[in-house]
Amino acid sequence: MQFPRYDINKYDPKRMMLIPLLIFLVAAAIVGFTFASIGMPVTPGIDFVGGTAVTIHTTDTKEQITAFFADCALISIDEGVGTAGDYSSYYLTFESISNDEELKRFNNKTLGKYPDARIDHTGANFGATLQSKAMIALLFAFISMALVVFIAFRKLIPAATVVFAGIADITITAGTMNLLGIELSLATTAALLMLIGYSVDSNILLTSKILKQQGKLVDKMAGAFHTGFIMTTTTLSAIVVMLIVAVVGQVPTLSSIAAVLVIGLICDMILTWAFNAGALRLYLESEEGKKQPSHARQKIKRAKGVKS
């Protein structure tokens, strides 16, 4: 089977850039609305707002567990791994309990019914501290990425498109997380940081081949696509398998990480080979256009010199 060839000349560069730009604007609107509503770009999980997570192994059904915790602020209940015989594993999340007396009562109630239960409590203040540190980490990652890109290329437009692709990738992924109900946790924050690296990697590969290698644009673009497509799809395939295993095995944290990475890698392919490729073609055509009048003037001057 022949590998598909990427021919940049078949497509109008402005139309190539339009679709990713529209997707980015829609995602930015979703993220902006979420931020205006709750003060965070993505709905935070208990890692950032505080709460209690309980893992239990029991023969009870979901309905029985829900009824038992009817007087508690139960947020969600999911099946987990570790099913053995008639026993099933469940992962429960509750709203934050700020009062020590209420927390003690909750622990006694839970352990009285489920003695082997694992209870993890995150205070609201600690969650807020983690939230601010996670935002600082994302901001520092973006600033570092932008500095490295500008130093590497030293040309404003190519460097700016790489930076924009990274920002758009995270923004579209965050907007999709809001639509799918994937919460922002320490695990998904790590996945978003990984996406910055993936996005910069693929876009720097494309930009470097286009600007620094000799040859025709269509050949350089095709070579970059061959390398980048194989690299991204290989990673994407592995993460899709991880997502399937996590969903089947009912591991919420792992499935959230995998889902964020799958969304981000698909967005990265669109941004790299549609938006960035189109922007680079426009940039190179603009640079050629600037050089053309200069060559023409030089030819005219040489012609006048010969006549004289």
Q: For residue range 131-182, what is the model confidence (pLDDT) as tens digits?
A: 788 778 888 887 887 888 888 778 888 888 888 998 999 999 999 999 998 9
Burial of residue 183 (CB within 10 Å: 0-12, 13-18, 19+) is: buried
Q: What is the DSSP letter of 74?
A: E
- Gyration radius (Cα) of the chain, Å: 26
Parse the chain into domains and list their residue ranges: 8-44+126-290, 51-122
pLDDT at 4 over 50: yes
- Residue 49 amino acid letter: V
Task: Residues 8-44+126-290: name the CATH superfamily.
Answer: Multidrug efflux transporter AcrB transmembrane domain (1.20.1640.10)
CATH class of 51-122: alpha beta
The predicted-structure confidence for 25-34, as pLDDT tens digits, reads as follows 999 999 999 9
Q: How confident is the model at residue 298 (pLDDT cuts 50, 70, 90)?
A: low
Q: How confident is the model at residue 297 (pLDDT cuts 50, 70, 90)?
A: very low
The predicted-structure confidence for 192-246, as pLDDT tens digits, reads as follows 988 888 888 888 888 888 887 777 877 888 888 888 888 888 999 999 999 998 8
Give the number of other Cβ atoms within 10 Å of residue 177's Cβ: 27
- When mean pLDDT is compared over 29-33, 115-119, 124-128, the highest value belongs to 29-33
Give the number of other Cβ atoms within 10 Å of residue 138's Cβ: 16
Averaged pLDDT for residues 286-296: 63
Q: How confident is the model at residue 277 (pLDDT cuts 50, 70, 90)?
A: confident
Structure tokens at 45: 């999980």
pLDDT at 304 over 80: no
Structure tokens at 119: 């209870």
Give the number of other Cβ atoms within 10 Å of residue 126's Cβ: 14
